[in-house]
Amino acid sequence: MSRTLGGMVRVDGDLDPESGAVFLTALEALTGPVMRSSDDHRTPAQARADALVDICRDSLHRGDAPITGGERPHVSLVVDLAVLDGATGRSEVADGVVVTGETARRLLCDAGVSRVITKGPSDPLDVGRRTRVVPPAIRRALEMRDGGCVIAGCRRPHRWCNAHHVVHWADGGPTSLDNLVLLCRRHHRLVHEGEIDLPARE
């Protein structure tokens, strides 16, 4: 594994036949025809890469990985408040890799959030408690209601989905069942980037 230009990560390696069979079976389970919706125009390579990330996300979301430094492994995002309001500002993930403001908003749809107030870039004044954007009880109700991704034709089950705020919480949208839908990671990205719309709500 190595980091390349623009924060991209290159993965290359060899697996023994048994491990390779497990690896390929897991990827094929998420990339086979039954899992591909009619609007899925990714190349096979792109679909396999997304599937690998989905498997890693699922492992992190289950919360049974070893605790390091008092916390379970997670992806950290540092974002200025201005970015959440649609303005410019700092928005980056691990090792200072810059992401777009819309990517930050998408990641914050279903995340633990900690407030850090600073005076300048490296002088913390106050660190607030972490808050869970979507509490477990609401997440369970959401899974029962939607079952999986709400985009027509998508067969991703709820465990492969993010809870998406219809009106983003940074814009004052409540974290309530009425303001949430389940979206698989690919459709979540497409909704935030304005490439597709959410289905009409009854």
Q: What is the pLDDT of residues 92-135, one digit of tens each?
A: 886 678 888 888 888 888 777 777 766 666 666 555 556 656 77
Pinpoint the alpha helices (H) of the chain: 17-31, 44-61, 81-84, 101-107, 136-146, 185-192
- Supply the pLDDT for residue 121: 62
- Supply the pLDDT for residue 164: 92
Model pTM above 0.75: no
- What percent of the chain has a predicted confidence (pLDDT) above 70? 85
- Supply the pLDDT for residue 24: 93
How many C-beta neighbours within 10 Å does residue 113 have? 14
- Supply the pLDDT for residue 78: 82
Name the least confident of 29-33, 115-119, 128-132, 189-193: 128-132
Across 64-85, average pLDDT: 72
Q: Is the pLDDT of residue 32 over 90?
A: no
pLDDT category, 89, cuts 50, 70, 90? Answer: confident
> 165 to each of 1, 144, 176, how far by Cα in Å?
34, 17, 9
The answer to whether 183 touches 156, Cβ cutoff 8 Å, is no
pLDDT in tens, 148-181: 999 998 988 888 898 998 988 778 888 888 899 9
- Supply the pLDDT for residue 60: 78
Q: Is the pLDDT of residue 188 over 70?
A: yes
- Dmax over CA atoms of the chain, in Å, equals 55
- Give the Cα separation of 64 and 143 in Å (integer): 21
- Supply the pLDDT for residue 126: 55
pLDDT category, 21, cuts 50, 70, 90? Answer: very high
Selected residue with higher pLDDT from 36 and 48? 48
Across 59-67, average pLDDT: 73
Selected residue with higher pLDDT from 61 and 144? 144
The answer to whether 54 touches 35, Cβ cutoff 8 Å, is no
